[in-house]
Structure 1
Amino acid sequence: MFQATKCLILWKNQSGKNDYVLIICTPKYKTKSEDRIGGVGYEGDIMTAEVLQKSNHRKFIPILKSGTKDTSIPSWLQGKYYVDLSNETHYENNYSDLTTTLLNDRETAPELGISTTRKTPNSRNQETKSEPVPKDEPIKIKGIVIDEITQPTNDGTAGSGLYKIPFELNRTPSYEWRELFINAWNRPPSWTSMHRRGIATAYGNQVILNGTTIEEVEKYHKDTLKLAVQVANKQLEEINRRKQQQAERERIERENHRKNIDDISNRINFD
């Protein structure tokens, strides 16, 4: 189940039951959320409390409806995976990525022999044979998606010389991995003096640095990108290991419980 945050009654009665909560972000919403005004402030209290008490960071997904992430997304949600539906250019792809996340329907790799087109330096506009990528294979960066690098505005304002650079991954990661990657980029184990927090996002089979240059990637960001991917892979592996251990413990408990019931039931005689 999933929902957009609109109704206080729905929040109070249903928010705890949903797998995801979509937070529709606008400049007005950010102001009300951070100033704790009215219903929006009430919603913010509920969400921050659940995040703190249950560490349920992945439940709440910011949806950028208008403005920018800095002007529309509340500070307590900054650095999280968000979906940008404010731009018609990428609306369809981003909306598709959102529904894939909500329905837990990650796309699978192409079947053996299917031709695909890559837009990386070594194979731009070149058809190649793509083999299936196992779901448990660690995420890796394959290259830069050259055709999707944006143009700087260069209008003299701060940051106008920066632009967006997407990187293709070897497969489409889970929503959980993307959250881990963004957190790892924002707080890497090591970084350079040119590190830019808050510019990393992830959509589909791409990670994106929005607010940098190709020169910065070459000199500074490449190693941090690789490190963030490695950290996300390692953390997800540990999370999955713990989930498997928990599932095994629960299985053993169920079996022991059933065996105990069977043993005692066989001893009980009503004659």
Structure 2
Amino acid sequence: MSIPLRTIALVSFYSSLKMNTKNSNPKAFISYSWDDDSHKEWVAKLATDLRNDGVETILDQWHTVPGDQLPAFMEREIRENDYVIIICTSNYKLKSDQRKGGVGYEGDIMTAEVHTQGNHRKFIPVLAQGTWEQSAPSWLKGKYYVDLSNPDRRNTNYSDLRATIFGTRTGAPPVGSAPKRSMHKPLAASQDEPVKIVGVIVDEVTEPRMDGTPGSALYKVPFRLNRTPSSIWSEIFILTWNRPPKFTTMHRPRIARISGAKIILDGTTIDEVKKYHRETLILCVDEANKEEAKILEHRRKEEEQRREKSEAHRRSVEDEASNLNFD
């Protein structure tokens, strides 16, 4: 049985190799200020690391040439990419707050998108120099940022940035006591059974803020699974939810996460689930089941081949050794 390219790529991903799956790589645009040559090199190094790790990273140093319309480039990349990584320095803060140059223009576009669409998580601040107070534009104050300013903590915090982009951050551990009331009782299932959605966990549905801010009418809706899925299944589900093979115009990528035996949609409504997300959830669960099965089968065959080679080698050694005579 031939292994599809997407399955082979997923196997490589879970073996800590580079992920090269078509149509599964998140896209990110880097917004920064040209402080000096050293800072430009720092930004290019970050962009290179992200591309090596499977993020299709857009950087003006690579993607623009003399004669390009820079305002059109900036506006297009901010609107079309999955994420915008904002490199914060004191100079970036100054230009953004005073709306100067390209940084100021980008700031206008980003703040407008946040206010009109409420997609705060699309914009990821990264501290490159100094303190957060010195480097954060006023519209980013209070946001959770990634600190890459300290070389000693760079690898750990970079991993946090990468996990955020891929939607693979570690969720909260499962709650010890079962909910008092749910639409369906969880079913006992072995690890060999396909993962299925059992129903909505009614007691854990949160309430909307309803404070008039964008997105304040949305809330968390958790779904009980028949068993706790593997980390491989969880990764595939998140990747598929963020870029499903088919979806409605009301699909909301980047709101799904796995926590124990639960899928949590953080930023939707029960009505949206009923009208739009139900079919996509079923599709993503089925896709994760199929891809996980392919990966496990691929691994099983590889292990079987390794074992057969080892046994053949052992038999060959035994045969040759039996013919050796030291008399």
If the TM-score is normalised by the length of the shorter chain, which range does it land in? 0.5 to 0.7
Query: What is the TM-score when the length of structure 2 is the normalising length?
Result: 0.52
Cα distance in 2 for partners of 1:211, 1:78 equals 17
Mapped contact 2:163–2:169 kept (Cα < 8 A) = no
Query: What is the TM-score when the length of structure 1 is the normalising length?
Result: 0.62
1:240 is the counterpart of 2:327 = no
Tell me how far 1:210 sits from its aligned partner: 0.7
Tell me how far 1:214 sits from its aligned partner: 0.8
State the match for 1:224 in structure 2: 280
Aligned sequence identity (%):
37
State the match for 1:78 in structure 2: 165
Cα distance in 1 for partners of 2:272, 2:53 equals 38
State the match for 1:119 in structure 2: 181
Alignment of 1:37-186 (within 5 A): 49=52, 70=122, 71=124, 72=145, 74=161, 77-83=164-170, 94=172, 96=173, 119-122=181-184, 132-186=188-242
The Cα offsets for residues 104-140 of structure 1, whole Å up to 9 and x where unpaired, read as xxx9xxxxxxx965632246xxxxxx76411110000
**Distance 1:76-1:48 versus aligned 2 partners, 3 A rule:** farther
SS in 1 for 2:292: helix
How many pairs are equivalent? Answer: 194
Cα distance in 1 for partners of 2:31, 2:313 equals 49
Mapped contact 1:133–1:170 kept (Cα < 8 A) = yes
Q: Root-mean-square deviation (CA), in Å?
A: 3.3
Which segments of 5 or more consecutive residues in structure 2 lack a partner in the other structure? 1-14, 17-29, 33-37, 56-119, 125-144, 146-159
State the match for 2:255 in structure 1: 199
Tell me how far 1:177 sits from its aligned partner: 0.8
Cα distance in 2 for partners of 1:75, 1:152 equals 29
Tell me how far 1:40 sits from its aligned partner: 11
Tell me how far 1:158 sits from its aligned partner: 1.2
Which letter maps to 1:168? R
Mapped contact 1:119–1:144 kept (Cα < 8 A) = no
**Distance 1:188-1:235 versus aligned 2 partners, 3 A rule:** same
Which letter maps to 2:170? V
Which segments of 5 or more consecutive residues in structure 1 lack a partner in the other structure? 1-17, 20-32, 53-67, 85-93, 98-106, 108-114, 124-129
State the match for 2:315 in structure 1: 259
Tell me how far 1:80 sits from its aligned partner: 2.2
Cα distance in 2 for partners of 1:42, 1:147 equals 46
**Distance 1:195-1:132 versus aligned 2 partners, 3 A rule:** closer
SS in 1 for 2:289: helix
Tell me how far 1:151 sits from its aligned partner: 1.2
Cα distance in 1 for partners of 2:121, 2:182 equals 28
Q: 1:250 aligns with which of 282, 306, 309?
A: 306
